[in-house]
Amino acid sequence: MRVLSHRHLISISLLIFLITSALVIYSHNHQSSIERPKPGSVSFGPTEELAQIRTPPRFESFKTLFADIAENVVPTVVQVIPTKIDTVIFSNNPFYQFFGDPFGLNEFFSQPKRPQRRPPVEKRQYKQQGLGSGVIVSKEGFILTNYHVVDGADEIEVKTSDNRSFQAQIIGVDSLSDVAVIKIKEKVDNLPVAYLGDSDKLRPGDWAVAIGNPYSLASSVTLGIVSALGRTASNDFNTYQNFIQTDAAINPGNSGGALVNVKGELVGINTMIYTQSGGYMGIGFAIPINMARRIMEDLIYEGKVNRGWLGISIQDIDPATREAFNLGTEVKGVLICDVFKGQPAEKAGLKRGDIITSVNNKEILNSNQLRNVIASLHPGEKASIEIIRQQKRIVINVRIRSNDHKSHHSSQKYEKPSPENKKEDISTKLGIKASNITSEIRNTLNVNPAVEGVIIIDINPDSQAAEEGIMPNDIILEINRKTISSTDDFKRCLGKVKPGDSVLFLLQRDNNTFYKAFKVR
């Protein structure tokens, strides 16, 4: 038997090592999409990083970094072309649409009626096309896009970057977050799938690449950074907003497209721009992929979005409120203005005036963040909520339920009573005129019978109360933490307030409860 030399053994060992390493790398780069631990056969894009840019690039490879990203991500971004169809009846006779007998002559002559020859009529369809973008998120043909891109569409065409065209159908939409899921109708092979990242790991200053179809220019790639996180674009409390702000150029047609990081991972769905001209001005917004994925999975598996619900009214803590509650500047959190009867918060023991500082060990900094954190929890889950109550920190466990409550908001404004009905009007201190809540007021403003307080019927426009944002039709529930049940309570509590004192109102407006604090001049 031939004995191998030491040199031969080293060569063979090195060869075995190289072959093994190559097999491991090949296997890892070609592993299939991760299956979700939910019923159904849908498998979403893998969450691991792209193989060719797995590790942070060295300086010498930076010149090809963004070209590598574009090469791998562009195929996963599609054009979404929604079409609205209107049918119009058309006739060559201009009177046909208005009269069967154009001049009504048969009404005046008794001659026998002869069969009339009707002018030719035809139905014409008018199609109005839009343009947006979408991201392929599964090999089965599911595509993530914006609600506003496909809203009202009768037909949806999807075009891929390799010039293939497919018809798609809407699987589900969520107008509150502007997320929609569509799916290619036919069975299709060789679909590239986006790599889903973790948007919670983003930081302001991170590189960001936006890919979409602005102004019908397919597969456009723009570069920028993450400008800010947790942005809101409006004061609509019925929507869920937690936008990534970026200065990567986003224009009309980019909606529904991809925002990716330097690893090629999908971290956001581009959704809107801030503009005064209709075009790019350096401020774009994207829905974080963690939020979009949660909604997408609910739409696919459940057919609707099941958001968590606590049953509280909340507000941010401004300096005046902080002083009124004797809170240090280091305290961060959100103030509970009201706790709805029979809802999870009340059952768990949360109270009006509690300050929520964290949920499941996640620090809470503002009310929008709290709404999104609670909404991201599934009904039935338990949440560990840390609060401050009377300067003491307490942890309360709450079982979250679904947000199936109905809003009783009324846009009808209550008109000031006529002079004969203002006998109980009292106290113009602070520019406020208030009245007890009558049955007429309750019916007009849809005020819950359980609500006790006084209603503001007039505000002096030059007063401090008006400057602080207090408005007619606001209901005063408390003053300086004292319950207000009548105008007598209102007068008694305000009678104790002197110039220079801090005053804390608990108000209800359009069935939303909030605190208002300020120093009396």
SS (H, E, C) 243-295: EEEECCCCCCCCCCCEEECCCCCEEEEEEEECCCCCCCCCCEEEEEHHHHHHH
Q: Looking at 33, 138, 148, 435, which residue is catalytic? A: 148
Q: Would you call 489 a catalytic residue per the annotation?
A: no
| Mode of pairing for the β-strands spanning 362-363 and 266-273 | unpaired
Query: 94: which 2 tokens?
Result: 């201009």
**b (16+ CB within 10 A) / e for 362-384:** eebebbbbbbbbbbbbeeeeebe
Query: Quick check: helix, strand or coil at residue 108?
Result: coil
Alpha-carbon distance values, 242 to 85, 200, 228 (Å): 34, 11, 10
What's the per-residue H, E or C state across 430-443?
Answer: HHEEEEECCHHHHH
Is 405 a residue of the active site?
Answer: no
User: Which candidate in 133, 138, 255, 376 is catalytic?
Assistant: 255
Cα separation, 214 vs 257, in Å, equals: 10
* Residue 357, burial from CB neighbour count under 10 angstroms (0-12, 13-18, 19+): middle
Active-site annotation holder among 133, 177, 178, 435? 178
Q: Could you give the C-alpha distances from 470 to 176, 429, 460, 462, in angstroms and in order?
A: 28, 13, 10, 12
* Amino acid at position 287, single letter: I
Active site residue 255: yes
The 3-class SS string of 58-90 reads: CHHHHHHHHHHHHHHHHHHEEEEEEEEEEEEEE
Beta strands 132-136 and 77-91 are antiparallel
Annotated catalytic residues are 148, 178, 255
